[in-house]
Amino acid sequence: METIREIMNAGTLSPIINLPWKKDTQVEVIIMPIEKETFRQKIPFEKLEGCLKEYANPALWEMEQYAWEANIIEKYGTI
């Protein structure tokens, strides 16, 4: 994977990127391509709804309401 590394004035980049430094400040720019394995397409939340329903256990749904409190009591003895 090829990486490009340059030191340049912030003023050169300011038309492209909003930088907090003065225009005469030296900045280091590193450009690396994204590997295909690490790139993930954003999926709208609506499409994820119900995607794990096959793992749901309806017998435990009633216990979910008190799960946090039960865990705290088990761990610390009180809420």
Query: What domain range includes position 26?
Result: 4-33+50-76
| Residue 58 domain flag | yes
pLDDT, tens digit, for every residue of 1-39?
A: 789 999 998 888 888 888 887 888 899 999 988 776 655
| Per-residue model confidence (pLDDT) at position 24 | 84
pLDDT, tens digit, for every residue of 49-75?
A: 788 888 888 888 888 888 899 899 999
| Residue 38 domain flag | no
| Residue 72 domain flag | yes
Number of independent structural domains in the chain: 1
| Residue 11 domain flag | yes
Alpha helices (H) in 5-78, listed in sequence order: 10-13, 45-48, 61-64, 67-76
| Residue 45 domain flag | no
The whole-angstrom separation of Cα 77 and Cα 33 is 51
Task: For 33, list phi and psi in degrees, rounded to 5.
Answer: -70, 150
pLDDT, tens digit, for every residue of 38-48?
A: 556 676 777 77
| Residue 39 domain flag | no
Confidence of residue 78 (pLDDT cuts 50, 70, 90): confident
